[in-house]
Amino acid sequence: MPLITLTSDIGDNDYLVAAIKGQLWQMMPSCRLVDVSHRLTPFNYPQTSYVCRSTLQNFPEYTFHLVLVNLFENNNPHLLLAYYQQQYILCADNGLLPMILEESPEMVIGLPIGKEKRDTIAVSRIFGRAIKAVNDGDPLQKVGVSDLQIVEKNPLQPMLGPDWIDGQVIFIDRFENIVVNITRATFERERQGRKFSIAFKRGEVIDAISETYADVPEGEKLALFNAAGYLEIAINKGNAAGLLGFVGYSEKESMHLQNRLFYQTIRIFFN
């Protein structure tokens, strides 16, 4: 009875998510399906990587993570099935896998597309057959093609200086809290015990790390490390992205604002 998570940029306003689940249930009637999100912004690899990476660490061993994002960026003849720290990740060969893992998996194989139609339902069938084979005990080498050269895209990393660090906005949640690609480990390593300040427009500054939103009065800004271990800028019961000048995605604006969001930065000064 495999456990399968579903993450996609498909949205939830048509039949596709239900159809994908139907395909999986046809092959594995007893499989358990968990929706992570179907509202990821199309083409936003840093956002997808953050959501998927944060998901992996919370699931039992040998969970299958099905990532249906930007499936048709290229005409590669295969999809990917990777094994990483006792988890399975299935996605297109579009550069997303290296961004999610930020290192090489123990094993990655190609799942041939063959003469299947290149549509989301056909892709879900290919992934479903691979999941069923692995769950039934087939070794990965027999499920697909080994020794594969995959598309590589570099993870979005913070920029480092002797007394500063620049982080990029990778996610803005429904509360308009801003998630930055700086982990607690990176922050402490670069900080080296020094005081710090995070500067914003209009001269606003944060110079302390909070543990909860309630550490500051309502309407006050704060910085904390969220449950996934990433720096988060928030306003207690307020809209941090809007009030501090950061722009979130909307369905209509996503393509127009894509680059603007990726390269908005938050600088931390150490002294």
Residues of the chain with confidence (pLDDT) below 70: 247-263
Find, among 59, 68, 116, 122, the residue nearest to 88 by Cα: 59
Q: What CATH number does residue 39 fall under?
A: 3.40.50.10790
**Co-location of 217 and 93 in the same domain:** no
Task: Check residue 39 and give its pLDDT.
Answer: 93
Task: Check residue 86 and give its pLDDT.
Answer: 96
pLDDT tens digits along 46-75: 999 999 999 999 999 999 999 999 998 888
Task: Check residue 32 and give its pLDDT.
Answer: 98
Query: Which residues, including other chains, have CB under 8 Å from residue 173's CB and lie 6 or more apart?
Result: 179
Task: Check residue 106 and give its pLDDT.
Answer: 94
**Co-location of 22 and 139 in the same domain:** yes
Give me the domain span that covers residue 72: 3-143
Q: What CATH number does residue 231 fall under?
A: 2.40.30.90
**Co-location of 28 and 134 in the same domain:** yes
Query: Which residues, including other chains, have CB under 8 Å from residue 114's CB and lie 6 or more apart?
Result: 77
Q: Does 44 map to a domain?
A: yes
**Rounded Cα gap, residues 223 and 207, in angstroms:** 8
**Co-location of 182 and 221 in the same domain:** yes
Task: Check residue 257 and give its pLDDT.
Answer: 47
pLDDT tens digits along 183-224: 999 999 999 999 999 988 777 899 999 999 999 999 999 999
Find, among 158, 40, 154, the residue nearest to 95 by Cα: 154
**Co-location of 213 and 176 in the same domain:** yes
Going by the DSSP 8-state scheme, the letter that residue 212 receives in this structure is: S
Domain boundary among 109, 143, 177: 143
Task: Check residue 251 and give its pLDDT.
Answer: 36
